């Protein structure tokens, strides 16, 4: 609906009247610029210039709806800072589980826009991925197959494992799913090679590497990490990773602040996609909540491991404050 506001006729010049007519035809009568030009005897570029002058002189005001808690500017700021294709920010609740589920619903909505009936969807493990599976409405979008990108057997609650996330999500979507009956981290690189050589594991990882869309949780070096709960590290060992310059992980690959893999001897033991295979996926979406994860999420984005991000408001605000190593040195 077009609204009007009064202006003193005596303040308008003849040129202003021409501009106003162009504005009326374009905004009120929904004519194209070419149609306005044909009606007024101007070229389309001339009409474009008149419309621009009208905005500059305040003869037309364009207003965009702004909700009380408008998160769009925050999304755009994150996209610009980290070079992401898309960022979706949800409100932060006082209850962490509520925030996780909000992010999960937003992740499902984003997948609904990018997945098709032929999409092979890759998924990782963890709390955010569990929330995604729980929050995804039944038949909310279509995909051909759901595949795990990393093993997940361990001491952590089975609902957090990639196999469970994969199976539950596939059931809701009416899609096929592939199992990956393997731990996330093997005892040694040779054990990893033996596992990957098995048909049921190697084939699943090959499908994961070829997936069209992936959605992955992002970890931080935190006492609440699923990797500690799963028994892959003691709490002391895990928190000690900070001394090696490690700030977070994606699919169990540990990264430094610039997004570079920083623990190659561990990466060689991971039963999952390699860092290069993760980077090669055309469309990878990261999902995380909590301001404390900002260093890890920033690293994953800087490293190019995700092309889009779903997060909550507090994490988004913290991401704008995370400095690169170079910025930190300058500030110091």
Nearest to 100 by CA among 230, 217, 214, 213: 217
- The 8-class DSSP code of residue 307 comes to S
Higher pLDDT: 65 or 190? It is: 190
Strands 145-148, 120-123: pairing kind = parallel
Alpha helices in 24-120 (DSSP H): 33-40, 44-56, 72-82, 96-114
* pLDDT above 70: percentage of residues in the chain: 90
pTM of the predicted protein model = 0.81
Strands 253-256, 246-250: pairing kind = antiparallel
Structure tokens at 128: 């955010």
Question: What are phi and psi for residue 51, nearest 5 degrees?
Answer: -65, -40
Q: What is the mean pLDDT of the chain?
A: 90
pLDDT tops 70 at residue 170: yes
Give the pLDDT of residue 90: 95
Helix axes 162-173, 127-135, angle to 10 degrees: 20
- Sort residue 304 into left (φ over 0), alpha (ψ -120 to 50) or beta: left
How many angstroms separate the Cα of 157 from the Cα of each of 164, 183, 203?
10, 13, 26
* C-alpha–C-alpha distance, residues 224 and 235, integer Å: 9
Give the pLDDT of residue 37: 93
For 69-117, how does the pLDDT look when each residue is reduced to its tens digit (9 = 90+)?
A: 778 999 999 999 999 999 999 999 999 999 999 999 999 999 999 999 9
* C-alpha–C-alpha distance, residues 142 and 269, integer Å: 34
Q: Which of 10-24, 47-61, 169-183, 273-287 has the lowest mean pLDDT?
A: 10-24
Strands 283-287, 176-177: pairing kind = unpaired
Terminal-to-terminal C-alpha distance of the chain: 53
* C-alpha–C-alpha distance, residues 182 and 195, integer Å: 8
Query: CA-based angle 280:196:261, to the nearest 5?
Result: 45
How many angstroms from the chain centroid is the CA of residue 293?
A: 14
* C-alpha–C-alpha distance, residues 288 and 308, integer Å: 12
pLDDT tops 80 at residue 191: yes
**All domains of the chain in start order, with CATH:** 13-56 (1.10.10.10), 72-331 (3.40.50.1360)
């Amino acid at each position: 609906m077009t609204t009007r506001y009064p202006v003193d006729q005596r303040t308008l010049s003849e040129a202003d009247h021409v501009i106003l007519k162009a504005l009326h035809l374009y905004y009120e009568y929904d004519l194209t610029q070419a149609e306005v030009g044909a009606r007024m005897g101007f070229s389309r570029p001339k009409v474009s210039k008149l419309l621009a002058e009208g905005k500059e002189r305040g003869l037309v005001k364009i207003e965009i709806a702004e909700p009380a808690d408008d998160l769009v500017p925050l999304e755009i700021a994150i996209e610009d800072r980290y070079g992401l294709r898309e960022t979706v920010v949800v409100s932060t609740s006082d209850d962490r589980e509520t925030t996780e589920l909000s992010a999960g619903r937003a992740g499902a909505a984003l997948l609904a826009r990018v997945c098709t009936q032929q999409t092979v969807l890759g998924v990782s493990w963890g709390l955010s991925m569990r929330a995604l599976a729980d929050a995804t409405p039944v038949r909310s979008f279509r995909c051909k197959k759901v595949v795990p990108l990393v093993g997940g057997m361990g001491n952590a609650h089975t609902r957090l494992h990639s196999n469970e996330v994969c199976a539950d999500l596939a059931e809701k979507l009416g899609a096929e799913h592939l199992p990956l009956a393997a731990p996330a981290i093997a005892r040694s690189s040779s054990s990893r090679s033996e596992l990957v050589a098995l048909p049921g594991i190697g084939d699943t990882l090959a499908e994961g590497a070829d997936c069209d869309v992936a959605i992955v949780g992002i970890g931080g070096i935190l006492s609440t990490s699923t990797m500690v709960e799963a028994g892959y590290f003691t709490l002391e060992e895990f928190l000690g990773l900070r001394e090696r310059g490690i700030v977070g992980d994606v699919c169990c690959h540990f990264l430094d602040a610039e997004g570079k893999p920083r623990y190659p001897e561990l990466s060689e033991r991971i039963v999952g996609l390699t860092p290069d295979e993760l980077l090669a996926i055309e469309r990878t979406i990261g999902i995380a909540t909590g301001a404390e994860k900002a260093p890890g999420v920033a690293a994953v984005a800087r490293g190019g491991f995700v092309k889009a991000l779903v997060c909550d408001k507090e994490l988004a605000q913290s991401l704008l404050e995370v400095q690169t190593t170079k910025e930190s040195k300058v500030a110091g």
